[in-house]
Structure 1
Amino acid sequence: MTATTRTNSAKATTAGAIGNFIEWFDYSIYGFMAVTISAVFFPSQDPTAALLATFGVFALPVVTRPLGGVVFARFGDKIGRKRTLALVLVLMSLSTGAIGLIPSYATIGVAAPILLVLARIVQGFSAGGEYAGGAALIAESVPAKRRGVMVSLMPSSTGFGLLAGSIFSFVLAGSLTADQLQSWGWRVGFLVAIPLGLIGLYIRLRLEETASFKELADSDAVASSPVRETVQTQLANVLKVAGIALGQTVCYYVVLVYTPTFLRTELGYSASSSLVTTSLAIAAYALTIPVAGHLSDRIGRKPLLFFGSISMLVLIFPTFVFMDGGSLALIGVLQVVAGGLALGCYTGPLVCTWVELFPTRVRYTGVSLGFNLSVIASVSSPFLLTWLISATGSDLMPAWYVAIAVTVSLLTLFVLPETAPSKGGHDHITPVGEQLPTWEADAADDQPGQHLSRP
Structure 2
Amino acid sequence: MVVAALSAVVEWYDFTLYLFMATVIARVFFGHSAASVLTTLALFAIAYLMRPLGALVFGHIGDRYGRRTVLLASMAVMAVAMLETALLPTRAQIGSGAGALLLALRCLVGFSVGGEYIGITAYLLEGAPPRRRGLVVSLAAAASEIGALLAVAVAAITVSLFDGAALDSWGWRLPFLFGALLAAATLVARSTIRESPAFEQEKRAHAGRHAPLRLMLRTQRPGFCRTFAISALASVTYYVGITYVPTYLSSVGGLAERDSLWLSTIAAAVVIVVTPFAGALSDRVGRRFALLLFGVLSLALPVAMFTFMADVTVLRAVTGAVVLAVLAGSIRAVSTAATAEQFPVAGRLSGLAVGATAATTVFGGLTPYLAQAMTDASGWAPAPGVLVAAVAVVVLPVLWWMPETAPVRAVSPRPEASPA
TM-score by length of 2: 0.87
State the partner residue of 1:31. Answer: 19
Deviation at 1:45, TM superposition (A): 4.5
User: CA separation in 2, counterparts of 1:326 and 1:132?
Assistant: 39
Q: Which stretch has the larger CA shift, 18-27 or 280-289?
A: 18-27
State the partner residue of 2:4. Answer: 16
State the partner residue of 2:319. Answer: 333
User: Within the alignment, does 1:343 sit opposite 2:314 as a pair?
Assistant: no
Match of 1:99 among 64, 85, 92: 85
Counterparts of residues 285-324 of structure 1 (less than 5 Å): 285-324=271-310
Deviation at 1:423, TM superposition (A): 5.6
Deviation at 1:85, TM superposition (A): 1.3
Report Cα offsets for 1:170-211 as digits up to 9, x if no partner: 444555556665555544332222111122112221111111
State the partner residue of 1:446. Answer: none
Counterparts of residues 374-393 of structure 1 (less than 5 Å): 374-381=359-366, 384=369, 388=373, 392=377
Structure 2 gaps, min length 5: 414-420
User: CA separation in 2, counterparts of 1:389 and 1:353?
Assistant: 31
Deviation at 1:265, TM superposition (A): 7.0
Report Cα offsets for 1:41-95 as digits up to 9, x if no partner: 344643xx44432222112244321111111111101111111210011102221
Distance 1:100 1:398, change over 3 A: farther
Deviation at 1:114, TM superposition (A): 0.9
Note if contact 2:75-2:187 (Cα within 8 Å) is conserved in structure 1.
Answer: yes
User: CA separation in 2, counterparts of 1:262 and 1:291?
Assistant: 28
Note if contact 1:244-1:408 (Cα within 8 Å) is conserved in structure 2.
Answer: no
User: Within the alignment, does 1:52 sit opposite 2:38 as a pair?
Assistant: yes
Match of 1:114 among 84, 100, 116: 100
Report Cα offsets for 1:303-323 as digits up to 9, x if no partner: 221222333442323444455
Q: Secondary structure at the match of 1:326?
A: coil
Q: Secondary structure at the match of 1:140?
A: helix
Q: Number of paired residues?
A: 411
Distance 1:198 1:370, change over 3 A: same
Note if contact 1:59-1:383 (Cα within 8 Å) is conserved in structure 2.
Answer: no
Note if contact 2:241-2:328 (Cα within 8 Å) is conserved in structure 1.
Answer: no
User: CA separation in 2, counterparts of 1:165 and 1:258?
Assistant: 18
Note if contact 1:149-1:297 (Cα within 8 Å) is conserved in structure 2.
Answer: yes
Structure 1 gaps, min length 5: 1-11, 425-437, 440-455
State the partner residue of 2:223. Answer: 237
State the partner residue of 2:417. Answer: none
Note if contact 2:138-2:279 (Cα within 8 Å) is conserved in structure 1.
Answer: yes
User: CA separation in 2, counterparts of 1:200 and 1:167?
Assistant: 20
Q: Secondary structure at the match of 2:341?
A: helix
Q: Secondary structure at the match of 1:207?
A: coil
Note if contact 1:240-1:416 (Cα within 8 Å) is conserved in structure 2.
Answer: yes
Amino acid at match of 2:403: P
User: CA separation in 2, counterparts of 1:51 and 1:384?
Assistant: 16
Amino acid at match of 2:8: N
Deviation at 1:222, TM superposition (A): 5.7
User: CA separation in 1, counterparts of 2:277 and 2:343?
Assistant: 24
User: CA separation in 2, counterparts of 1:362 and 1:331?
Assistant: 43
Deviation at 1:261, TM superposition (A): 5.3
State the partner residue of 1:72. Answer: 58
Deviation at 1:26, TM superposition (A): 2.6
Distance 1:121 1:313, change over 3 A: same
Note if contact 1:31-1:257 (Cα within 8 Å) is conserved in structure 2.
Answer: no
State the partner residue of 2:149. Answer: 163
Deviation at 1:235, TM superposition (A): 2.0
Note if contact 1:173-1:271 (Cα within 8 Å) is conserved in structure 2.
Answer: no
Deviation at 1:391, TM superposition (A): 7.3
User: CA separation in 1, counterparts of 2:255 and 2:91?
Assistant: 28
Amino acid at match of 1:299: V
Note if contact 1:55-1:383 (Cα within 8 Å) is conserved in structure 2.
Answer: no
Match of 2:212 among 216, 226, 241: 226
Note if contact 1:97-1:190 (Cα within 8 Å) is conserved in structure 2.
Answer: yes
State the partner residue of 1:448. Answer: none
State the partner residue of 1:283. Answer: 269
Q: Secondary structure at the match of 1:249?
A: helix
Note if contact 1:246-1:408 (Cα within 8 Å) is conserved in structure 2.
Answer: no
Q: Secondary structure at the match of 1:128?
A: helix
State the partner residue of 1:450. Answer: none
Root mean square deviation, CA, Å: 3.0
State the partner residue of 2:121. Answer: 135
User: CA separation in 1, counterparts of 2:343 and 2:221?
Assistant: 11
User: CA separation in 2, counterparts of 1:184 and 1:333?
Assistant: 40
State the partner residue of 2:418. Answer: none
Amino acid at match of 2:396: L
Deviation at 1:251, TM superposition (A): 2.9
User: CA separation in 2, counterparts of 1:102 and 1:25?
Assistant: 19
Match of 1:416 among 398, 402, 419: 402
Amino acid at match of 1:28: T
Deviation at 1:239, TM superposition (A): 1.9
Amino acid at match of 1:207: I
Deviation at 1:364, TM superposition (A): 1.4
Match of 2:351 among 357, 366, 369: 366
Amino acid at match of 1:213: F
TM-score by length of 1: 0.80
Amino acid at match of 1:75: I
Note if contact 2:240-2:368 (Cα within 8 Å) is conserved in structure 1.
Answer: no
